[in-house]
Chains A and B, each alone.
Chain A
Amino acid sequence: MLTITRAFHEKIIEHARRDHPDEACGVIAGPVGSDRPTRFIEMQNAERSPTFYRFDSQEQLKVWREMDDNDEEPVVIYHSHTATQAYPSRTDISYASEPQAHYVLVSTRDEAETEFRSYRIIDGEVTEEPVTVEE
């Protein structure tokens, strides 16, 4: 189960809406082993594309080093789908390589309502999990 604060939940949706129709992406870091997302990091989509995202490799190195220095890990890795449902695509699954991460997908295909879902992706296997939003 993913437990996330209302503020972070809103920040992800706000980022996805702002970058629509391009895919938005980012990370919420948290202390290693805590499973608690505590530090929100919006990432650039190096592809600036409505159908693909990739973290900018230089920015990723900087952010991953900061996490290492702070004894943090990526607790949430999020991105948006802008024309399809919030479910991991084949490409999403093939790239997923952080077994401890919650992969959050939001869909902005509907103007009024944003789908927000979370998954574990381990060895190519996708498991959806409940999302608890803390007030």
Chain B
Amino acid sequence: MAIEVRIPTILRNYTGGAKAVEGSGATLDELLNNLDKDHGGLRDRLVDGEKLRRFVNVYLNDEDVRFLGGLETPVKDGDTVTVLPAVAGGFF
């Protein structure tokens, strides 16, 4: 078993068009590093230095990881991680 990671349209150029990819790791950070081996550049679109980029939402199963532990959120086999582009904007 592995961890399924669901990829939004805008980032599928990093996954050869795949809607979902699989990876492993004990934390979200490890998972993203693991994914980056096969899908170079993907991590950089999600993480800026030590933090998730504000342009994306990352969910572990049904929860926004910002309300869990961010990049340090523990993950395990059988989990599903979903990435969505944040929809936001404003006046400036």
Residues of A at the B interface (CB closer than 8 Å) are 23, 25, 27, 43, 47, 49-55, 57-58, 60-61, 64, 73, 77, 79, 81, 83-84, 88-92, 94-100
Q: Which of the four size classes fits the interface of chain B?
A: 20 to 34
CB distance from A133 to the nearest CB of B (A): 24
Residues of B at the A interface (CB closer than 8 Å) are 8-10, 55, 57, 59, 62-64, 66, 82, 84-92
Q: Quick check: A97 and B10 within 8 Å, CB to CB?
A: yes
Q: Quick check: B66 and A53 within 8 Å, CB to CB?
A: no
Q: List 17 A-B contacts (CB under 8 A).
A: A23-B91, A49-B90, A52-B89, A52-B90, A53-B90, A55-B86, A57-B64, A61-B64, A81-B91, A89-B91, A91-B89, A91-B90, A92-B89, A92-B90, A94-B55, A95-B89, A100-B9
Q: How far is the CA of A97 from the CA of B86 in the complex (A)?
A: 8
| Given the contacts A53-B90, A95-B55, A64 and B9 also touching, CB distance less than 8 Å | no
Considering only CB atoms, which chain A residue lies closest to B6 in the complex? A68
Q: Quick check: B91 and A83 within 8 Å, CB to CB?
A: yes
Considering only CB atoms, which chain B residue lies closest to A51 in the complex? B91
Q: How far is the CA of A91 from the CA of B54 in the complex (A)?
A: 12
Q: Quick check: B90 and A97 within 8 Å, CB to CB?
A: no
Q: Quick check: B92 and A57 within 8 Å, CB to CB?
A: no
Q: How far is the CA of A97 from the CA of B13 in the complex (A)?
A: 13
Q: Quick check: A52 and B88 within 8 Å, CB to CB?
A: yes
Which of A49, A54, A88 lies at the interface centre, i.e. has the most chain B CB atoms within 10 A of its CB?
Answer: A54
Q: How far is the CA of A53 from the CA of B92 in the complex (A)?
A: 11
Considering only CB atoms, which chain A residue lies closest to B59 in the complex? A61
Considering only CB atoms, which chain A residue lies closest to B63 in the complex? A58
Set of chain A residues within 8 Å of B63, measured between Cβ atoms: 58
Apart from A55-B88, A89-B89, 9 more pairs, CB < 8 Å: A23-B90, A47-B88, A53-B90, A54-B86, A60-B87, A61-B59, A91-B90, A94-B55, A97-B85
CB distance from A16 to the nearest CB of B (A): 14
Q: How far is the CA of A66 from the CA of B34 in the complex (A)?
A: 29
CB distance from A24 to the nearest CB of B (A): 12
Q: How far is the CA of A84 from the CA of B55 in the complex (A)?
A: 23
